[in-house]
Amino acid sequence: MGNDTTRRVLVGTLHGLVEGSLRSGSLRTLDFLNRASGRFVTLLDPKVTSEAWQSESASVGLSATGILWVVEIDAMRLGANRRSFPPRNRCGIHICLPGYELRGFLHTPLQGDPVTRLNQDQANFFALTSASLIGDDTEFAAAFVAVNRNQMFAVEADAPLDDAESEDALSAAEDEAALATS
């Protein structure tokens, strides 16, 4: 793999959706976003779906502070590659962002509390896995969503699920996404 990885992403911002290509070098999307926090994130070949503004250029710079969430387009496909994680607690959480509700799993150390982890972590963006998002302008399920903790106005932990229940929840979210896109 080269040092110039480009991923197609969908970005939820305070002022609409932007789809574009994110050139992240050798970094994972989440790591790239956390390094860019407080600055601008450049997307190539942007498609803006906002009534507030449009882009006519080959690239657009988005203020990292105005980004609500980022999802890789490939992670939205059914059967997307799911990475294996070291043994951790997967806690279901419900997050409220301006114009969006997001449900998924936050990975915490064993016996860890998700809200405590969100308070202790220094990075602006964190990963939510097996996630589903509902908003006025979009709805999808994805294997991974990067969420800007500075834009959240509420979070609550769901009751713990066992592995079979969490797989059932992911399958149901994927089925809903398939129906929404067909």
Kindly list the domain boundaries of the chain, sorted by start residue.
5-76, 89-181
Tokens 């959240």 locate to 152
5-76 folds as SH3 type barrels. (2.30.30)
Per-residue pLDDT tens over the stretch 84-139: 555 567 889 999 999 999 999 988 776 667 777 788 778 899 999 999 999 988 99
pLDDT of residue 181: 46
Counting Cβ atoms within 10 Å, is residue 75 exposed (0-12), middle (13-18) or buried (19+)? Answer: buried
150 pLDDT above the threshold of 50: yes
pLDDT of residue 25: 87
Confidence band, pLDDT 50/70/90 cuts, at residue 180: very low
The CATH architecture one would assign to domain 89-181 is Roll (2.30)
Q: Is the pTM of this model over 0.95?
A: no
